[in-house]
Amino acid sequence: MKIFNSLTRQKQDLVTHDEGLVRMYSCGPTVYSYPHIGNMRAYLFMDALRRTLKYNGYKIDGVMNITDVGHMTSDEDEGEDKMLVASKREHKSPWEVAKYYTDIFISETKRLNIDMPEHICPATSVMPEIIVFVKKLIENGNAYETSKGIYFDIATFAGYGKLGGVGLENKLAGARIDIDKEKRHPADFALWIKAPKQHIMQWDSPWGKGYPGWHIECSTIGIKYLGEYIDIHTGGVEHRPVHHENEIAQDDAYAGHQVVSNWMHLEHLLVDGGKMSKSLGNVYKLDDLVAKGFSPEDYRYFFFTTHYAKQQNFTWEGLESAKNALKSMKNILKEHKESTDNTKVKIDKAEKDFLEAINDDLNLPKALGIVWTLLKMPRDRKIYDAIIKFNQIFGFDFEGDIIPTEVQELAKQRWQAKQNRDFATADELRNKISQLGFSVKDTKDGYEIVKN
Ligand code: AMP
Ligand code: ZN
């Protein structure tokens, strides 16, 4: 299996530290607002990678962080903690904000049938481990204390800049004029921040009350769950020059050797050829797609039409084509299912081509094309069987038998509302269920959920 490694800038064979096992870290969300469809592209990519690894027989030990403290409004330690911004905006505690958006994030991944990592870890749950990590970096001479916090001294790490390819000179040139005079280098970054009183989230540490920097959370969680040899680390492309560069410095300085061997970066989703932005009103969520009659699965299909390392342009027309393609795919597949074996049809080559495509740095648009070539052939049960096998990668609901957890949950709430004779709520929940493409039917001893 070949993957493009952003560190070596080469497509190379995947070689894992332990044969047959992939230890994989995926940068997770900062839980301060609704995830948009661009964010979800990052996790669809992770899902596709996990499915491809499994298709190749690998076992996976995967972890994803949930950032619930310490991610500032700028990735370079500037500005305010995003959790506090949300806490003020929503008049809730940062913990309430974190719980609210973590739940939404998990439910969005379910709606998209995303194969999630084995471990999901909120940063606030590993405070003792983060403190031990920072202590070791100080002991090793890689970090120092200022009046504001503990900083990583990038001059002590020879490889700094190798991932982002930005170079230290450019980092310097790009640094702000009002640099913190106590820092040894403008690009030194915070491991631990001494908390001002207004920072609600703070923990005791050897350096007084404070909270961790965002980058140290990922390094700590990665090493805690996966150890000091991590095979693949995924994340959005914007994390390459700062967040991931800093993770490498922390990891390798801590372990005394290279920790992550392969970095894989996802290119962004654009909308109508440009950036998604609040001012343009085009920061779409899954619910916005559903409100226009699309299903989360249509967006899933849409994802497969562009390679992960290329920017993908979202348009409503593009989503409409994805929806139509998925619909006819399901219809034609049914015809193959209902036919008998046509001995003339050979699928060995298609199987080989399919494996080659997914193993060529996840060429899923090509893999999807192979499915279509098969679909267009004379109807044959063998084709149905092959496509069901290929569907381990795509995760489409061909049989119509996957009832998303979210729908099950809403149906349960509707049942309870009915029991309480709260018919207004029950009707509202029925509408929500119907927007998700399902209906509930009352039966003698309960209810039944069916797909529309
Ligand atoms: P955040 O919650 O802001 O830290 O972002 C979560 C993930 O979404 C990160 O891995 C980002 O790289 C990714 N992301 C943010 N915007 C986009 C976008 N427009 N397209 C694809 N991925 C994105
Ligand atoms: Zn991260």
Answer yes or no: is the C-beta of 238 below 6 A from any ligand 1 atom: yes
Question: 152 pLDDT exceeds 50?
Answer: yes
pTM, to two decimals: 0.89
Q: 210-262 pLDDT, tens per residue?
A: 999 999 999 999 999 999 999 999 999 999 999 999 999 999 999 999 999 99
Question: 177 pLDDT exceeds 50?
Answer: no
Residue 32: both structure tokens together: 């301060």
In the reported structure, the alpha carbon of residue 118 is separated from the centroid of ligand 2 by a whole-number distance in angstroms of 17
CA angle 207, 210, 212 (to 5 degrees): 105
Q: 342-382 pLDDT, tens per residue?
A: 878 889 999 999 999 999 999 999 999 999 999 999 999 99
Question: 168 pLDDT exceeds 80?
Answer: no
Percent of the chain with pLDDT over 90: 79
Ligand positioned closest to the Cα atom of 105: 1
- CA-nearest residue, atom 12 of ligand 1: 236
Answer yes or no: is the C-beta of 38 below 6 A from any ligand 1 atom: yes
Burial code (b: 16+ CB inside 10 Å, e: under 16) for 4-32 equals bbbbeeeeeebebeeeeebbbbbbbbbbb
Answer yes or no: is the C-beta of 236 below 6 A from any ligand 1 atom: yes
Strand ranges, E, within 245-396: 260-266, 269-271, 312-314
Strand ranges, E, within 72-197: 119-122, 143-145, 149-152, 189-194
Percent of the chain with pLDDT over 70: 96
In the reported structure, the alpha carbon of residue 224 is separated from the centroid of ligand 2 by a whole-number distance in angstroms of 14
Residue from 25, 26, 36, 39 whose mutation best tests the ligand 1 pocket (most atoms within 8 A of CB)? 39
Rounded Cα gap, residues 215 and 195, in angstroms: 17
